[in-house]
């Protein structure tokens, strides 16, 4: 016969009582205090959400690990391993993103970390560009064979021009006064690059430069520049908009606009005080060409637009005076050149009154000018 001691029976009763109490308590808590989550996203949805968070961060922040200057990338067809490229180039950059998605950017690709996405493995299946040149990356989930696409938009490299009264040209008069109230105006902070143009050219079947994708595009005609910006949903930047973005804001109460010739100072002789080696304020001829860093922050303006002076020659759509298209201030000219003043423009057309526009006579270039450009957007 099996005999149980009285103490073990009472222990058993106590334990049973505790289990019953806990069961009853948990029943009431779950039933009445916690609402039913009947729409738990399944694991694919959670995994996809995590993937998009990772990819968005990578797209917006670019080469977070700073791999490029240390060891470069393994995708020379997409990103050349030239040392002098500013890290901002890799933000919102379709070529860098493609390099990254193909696991050639020398960082751990989250797509290979299957366990991070709840056992779902996303396979990069290739890419294409839409009608506006936005990168579209295709993916397939291995287990379920579900496919999807992610479109990447460039939200990195524009500034919004503040609504105000502005004045174009280097002259302080009201001849070219204007305002942008009621017009949302966004301007590229950097030049349009060779790589940007290549995306457009491939879609349109146009021959254009294919090497040094990180450099500014300088081989398009004026009309082609307009067509490129229209393709991107914008317009070729107007000269007066560039002036508005780079002249230090100095509007008097009666709409008179003071014009200071340099973007970093209200001193009219500021360039004499600069010294020969301050290439961050203006990358002029005195600066070593080998030291030029592409997509860099040379000559920043109050608005956030770069290359206000120096760097590359640039062309604009000048609505007030159409022949006056070119900013000649660039790394081709020394600091004492008359071109190194905000608002001054050049033309290749003869018999113009451009000296009236500039407020002074300057010897105009004779040959065709290879110039960079950028776009403005009214979204």
Q: Which of residues 172, 186, 206, 233 is near another protein by CB under 8 A?
A: 233
CA–CA separation, 148 and 144 (whole Å): 12
Closest CA to 368 of 169, 207, 212, 222: 222
Cα dist from 248 to 141, 258, 262, 266, 365, whole Å: 52, 9, 8, 8, 28
Closest CA to 152 of 188, 113, 100, 203: 100
CA–CA separation, 263 and 245 (whole Å): 10
Token reading at 14: 């106590």
Q: Which of residues 124, 129, 178, 292 is near another protein by CB under 8 A?
A: 178
Applying CB under 8 A, the span of 26-34, 200-208, 328-336, 362-370 interacting with another protein comes to 26-34
Q: How far is the CB of 128 from another protein (least distance, A)?
A: 9
Q: Is the dihedral of CA 229, 235, 238, 244 positive or negative?
A: negative
Please report, as residue ranges, which positions from 59 to 78 form the binding site for another protein (by CB under 8 A): 59-60
Q: Which of residues 31, 83, 277, 351 is near another protein by CB under 8 A?
A: 31
Token reading at 191: 């030049």
Please report, as residue ranges, which positions from 182 to 211 form the binding site for another protein (by CB under 8 A): 182-183
Q: How far is the CB of 150 from another protein (least distance, A)?
A: 6
39 binds another protein (CB under 8 A): yes
Q: Which of residues 14, 71, 123, 230 is near another protein by CB under 8 A?
A: 230
Binding mask 132-161 for another protein (x = CB under 8 A): x---x-x-------xxxxxxxx-x------
**Residue 280 Cα to chain centre, angstroms:** 20
3 binds another protein (CB under 8 A): no
Token reading at 117: 């996405």
CA–CA separation, 235 and 214 (whole Å): 21
Count of residues near another protein by CB under 8 A: 69
235 binds another protein (CB under 8 A): yes
On the CB side of 342, how many CA atoms lie within 13 Å of its CA? Answer: 35
258 binds another protein (CB under 8 A): no
249 binds another protein (CB under 8 A): no
Binding mask 319-358 for another protein (x = CB under 8 A): xxxx------------------------------------
**DSSP class per residue in 51-99:** HHHHHHHHHHH-STT-HHHHH--S-TTTS---S-B-GGGGTT-HHHHHH
Q: How far is the CB of 23 from another protein (least distance, A)?
A: 5
Those residues whose C-beta lies under 8 Å from the C-beta of residue 71, and which sit 6 or more positions away, are 106
113 binds another protein (CB under 8 A): no
Confirm if 112 and 125 have CB atoms less than 8 A apart. no
Give the helix/strand (H/E) hosting 10: helix 6-32
Applying CB under 8 A, the span of 79-87, 208-216, 307-315, 318-326 interacting with another protein comes to 318-326
Closest CA to 302 of 246, 250, 243: 246
Q: How far is the CB of 142 from another protein (least distance, A)?
A: 15
Measured from the CB atom, is 231 or 283 closer to another protein? Answer: 231
Q: Which of residues 177, 203, 362, 364 is near another protein by CB under 8 A?
A: 177
19 binds another protein (CB under 8 A): yes
Positions in the binding site for another protein (CB under 8 A): 16, 19-20, 23-24, 26-27, 30-31, 35-42, 44-45, 48-49, 52, 55-56, 59-60, 92, 125, 130-132, 136, 138, 146-153, 155, 165-166, 177-183, 226-227, 229-236, 255, 317, 319-322, 378-379
């Amino acid at each position: 016969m099996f005999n149980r001691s009285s103490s073990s029976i009472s222990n058993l009763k106590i334990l049973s009582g505790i289990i019953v109490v806990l069961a009853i308590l948990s029943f009431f808590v779950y039933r009445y205090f916690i609402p039913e989550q009947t729409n738990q996203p399944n694991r694919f949805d959670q995994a996809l959400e995590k993937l998009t968070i990772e990819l968005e961060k990578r797209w917006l922040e670019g080469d977070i690990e700073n791999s490029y200057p240390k060891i470069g990338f393994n995708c020379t067809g997409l990103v050349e391993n030239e040392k002098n490229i500013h890290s901002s180039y890799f933000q919102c950059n379709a070529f860098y993103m493609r390099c990254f998605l193909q696991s050639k950017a020398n960082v751990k690709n989250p797509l290979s970390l299957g366990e991070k996405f709840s056992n779902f493995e996303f396979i990069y299946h290739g890419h294409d560009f839409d009608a506006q040149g936005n990168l579209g990356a295709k993916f397939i989930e291995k287990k379920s064979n579900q496919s999807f696409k992610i479109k990447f938009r460039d939200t990195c490299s524009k500034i919004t021009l503040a609504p105000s009264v502005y004045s174009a040209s280097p002259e302080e008069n009201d001849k070219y006064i204007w305002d942008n109230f009621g017009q949302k105006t966004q301007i590229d902070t950097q030049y349009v690059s060779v790589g940007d143009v290549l995306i457009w050219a491939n879609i349109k079947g146009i021959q254009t430069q294919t090497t040094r994708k990180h450099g500014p595009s300088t081989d398009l005609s004026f009309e082609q520049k307009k067509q490129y910006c229209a393709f991107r949903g914008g317009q070729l930047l107007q000269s007066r908009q560039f002036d508005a973005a780079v002249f230090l804001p100095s509007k008097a109460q009666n709409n008179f606009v003071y014009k200071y010739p340099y973007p970093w100072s209200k001193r009219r002789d500021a360039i004499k005080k600069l010294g020969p080696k301050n290439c961050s304020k203006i990358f002029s001829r005195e600066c070593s060409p080998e030291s030029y860093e592409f997509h860099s922050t040379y000559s920043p303006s109050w608005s956030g637009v770069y290359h206000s002076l120096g760097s590359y020659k640039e062309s604009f759509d000048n609505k007030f005076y159409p022949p006056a298209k070119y900013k000649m201030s660039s790394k081709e000219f020394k600091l004492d050149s008359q071109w190194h003043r905000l608002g001054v423009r050049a033309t290749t057309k003869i018999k113009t009154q451009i000296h009236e526009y500039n407020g002074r006579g300057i010897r105009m270039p004779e040959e065709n000018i290879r110039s960079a450009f950028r776009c403005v957007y009214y979204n």
